Amino acid sequence: MLATGALVGTHERTLDPKKRLTIPSAWRHALGSDYVYVMKEEGAPCLRLVPRGVFESRLAEIQEEPLSDEDLNDVLEKIGEDSELLEFDVQGRIRISDRLLAHANLKGTVVMKGAVRMARLWAPENVPQRSAVEVENLRAAMKKLRF
């Protein structure tokens, strides 16, 4: 169930008439499962596509936390409310709920941007453009990660 590869590259797909989204075949292989989590990106008009193994390994890390931790419970409730576990159909499509599609304003074309361990799904008009400052931050992060 662990992801077997990285979600890289940028892909454009169109929602079909039934609002299904086809995930690139290379990404389906990298996801390592027939399921994927889709969740709201807080503070941005996009969705996160998270491999099942990545999402569930994060959940496993918090299993030892006390059930009485109300701050953690509030966060987990919000994550649970704003997430979906979706299964790929035989053609590699998923059907994201109308509520999540509306959060990201996804109506026709979907820009899928790989972020290595997850991906972001954007409406074309909402895709952020990289600035020179962000490029410098990227260089520093790449150095820190030893890439």
- Predicted TM-score (pTM) of this structure: 0.85
pLDDT tens-place string over residues 69-119? 888 888 888 888 999 999 999 999 999 999 999 999 999 999 999 999 999
Fold type of domain 10-144: Chemotaxis protein chec (3.40.1550)
Q: Where are the domains of the chain?
A: 10-144
Q: What are the tokens at 142?
A: 């790449």
Residue type, 43: G
Which whole-number Å values give the CA distances from 119 to 30, 40, 47, 48, 110, in the listed order? 12, 12, 8, 6, 12
